[in-house]
Amino acid sequence: MKTFHHKDLSALSFLVTGGAGFIGSHIAEYLLKNGAGKVRVLDNMVNGFHTNLDVLKLYPAYEFIEGDIRDAELCNRACSGIDYVSHQAALGSVPRSIQEPANTNNVNVGGFVNILKAAVDNDVKRFVYASSSSVYGDDPRLPKTESYIGNCLSPYAVSKRTDELYAQVFATVYKMPVIGLRYFNIYGPRQDPDGAYAAVIPLFVKGIIHKTPVYINGDGEQTRDFTFVQNAVQVNVKAMLTDNQEAFNKVYNVAAGKNFSINNLYNAIRDHLKSSHAATYREPREGDVRNSLADISLAEKQLEYVPEIRFEEGLVQTIEYFKELYN
C-alpha cells in the first residue's frame, strides 16, 4: 500500500465513522497499516460488513463502537480523545433517498450535525467529511468546478448539500477546521455487491459471471468520473493531515478528472472477463444526472491530491476482487 503522508501517526488518534463500510474501511486500514496510535470505528452495521472489520481487527490500535450517528450522546463518546475525524457514515443511494427521504435526512443531516458538534465539544483538531458530486444537480457545465452548483435532483443530493452548509457554519461559528470532499463515483474492492442499492461495477461483474440479466439505465451513454477507492483514501488522509491553512473550510472534488460512459464501463468489464454476455437496457433512473466530470485542480493545489490509480488499472483490480468473490 502506497504511503500518502509524511507525519508520524503513532501519537495520533482517529475516528472513522462508517468505518465498516466501503470507503471507511479502506481509510481505517490505511491508518492502521501506517502505525496510527488509535483508530476508532463507529458504525451501526446497516451498510457496514463484519468482513471489512475483520481486516482491521489484526491491529492492536483498532477500536470499534457499534452505534448510530443519530445518537448525539454516542457521538460525543466516540469523539472523546480523538484528534482527527473522518466522517464517512451516511445513507447513500439516490433511489433509496427518493423512497426514504425522511430517513435519508435523519441520518445524513441529523447525524452529521451530531458528529460535527461532538467534534467541537471534544476539541477535535480536524473534521473531514464525505460530500457528493450529486450536489451539482442540474448544472450542465463540464467539468464540474466547486464554485458552480445547480438545483438538487434528489433528497440524497439535498442532504449532502445541507451538510456542506452546516460545515461552513460550524467552521465560522465554532472555529472548527473542516474539509469536505465531493466524491465522484468511487469504486473498488469491498463495494456492496448485493442488496437493492448495490453499486454498478459489482452488479455488472456478478451478472456477467453468472450470466444473469444485467441492466443499464437509459441508453448507457451517460458518463461518470469513476474514481478508484485508493484515490479517495489518499485525499482523505491528506485532508486530515495537511498543514496548509488555505485548505481549510472548503469543499473539494474527489475524482480522476476523466469520464467514461456506462456502455464503456460495461464493455471493459465484459472484455476483461472474456464474455459476450449482453446487457438489457431499461428506462432512465429518476434523479440521475446525465453527465459527470470533475475539475480536480483545487484539490491538486490545496491538498496535493494526485489521482495515481487511473480508471483502467483500478477497474482490473476491482474486477479481479469480485471475480474471486463470485467464483
The pLDDT of residue 41: 98
CA dist 251 and 16 (Å) reads: 19
Task: Provide the domain limits for residue 89.
Answer: 13-187+227-257+293-308
pLDDT in tens, 139-193: 999 999 999 999 999 999 999 999 999 999 999 999 999 999 999 999 999 998 7
Q: What is the pTM of this model?
A: 0.95
Q: Is residue 100 part of a domain?
A: yes
Q: How far is CA 133 from CA 84, 85, 208, in A?
A: 24, 21, 28
- Res 327 pLDDT > 80: no
Question: Cell 503522508 sits at which residue?
Answer: 5
Report the pLDDT averaged over residues 263-270: 96
Q: Has residue 272 been placed in a domain?
A: no
pLDDT for 94 equals 86
Average pLDDT over residues 265-270: 96
Annotated catalytic residue, options 62, 156, 252, 321: 156
Nearest to 209, CA basis, from 53, 89, 61, 327:
327
Is beta strand 84-87 parallel, antiparallel or unpaired with respect to 13-17? parallel
Per the domain annotation, does 280 fall within a domain?
no
Written as one letter, the residue type at 69 is I
What pLDDT is recorded for position 57?
Answer: 97
Residue 193 domain flag: no
CATH of the domain at 250: 3.40.50.720
Known catalytic residue at 252: no
| Overall domain count for the chain | 1
95-114, pLDDT tens digit by residue? 899 999 999 999 999 999 99
C-alpha cell at 97: 433517498
Q: What is the pLDDT of residue 197?
A: 62
Longest distance between any two alpha carbons in the chain, whole Å: 57
Using the predicted structure, report yes or no on whether residue 1 has a pLDDT greater than 80. no
Q: Which strand (E) or helix (H) includes residue 79?
A: helix 72-79
- Region 301-327: what's the mean pLDDT? 93
In the three-class reduction of DSSP (H, G, I as helix; E, B as strand; rest coil), residue 325 is classed as helix
Mean model confidence pLDDT for the chain: 95
- Per the domain annotation, does 250 fall within a domain? yes
What's the distance, CA 86 to chain centroid?
11
Name the residue type at position 304: E
Domain-embedded: residue 182: yes
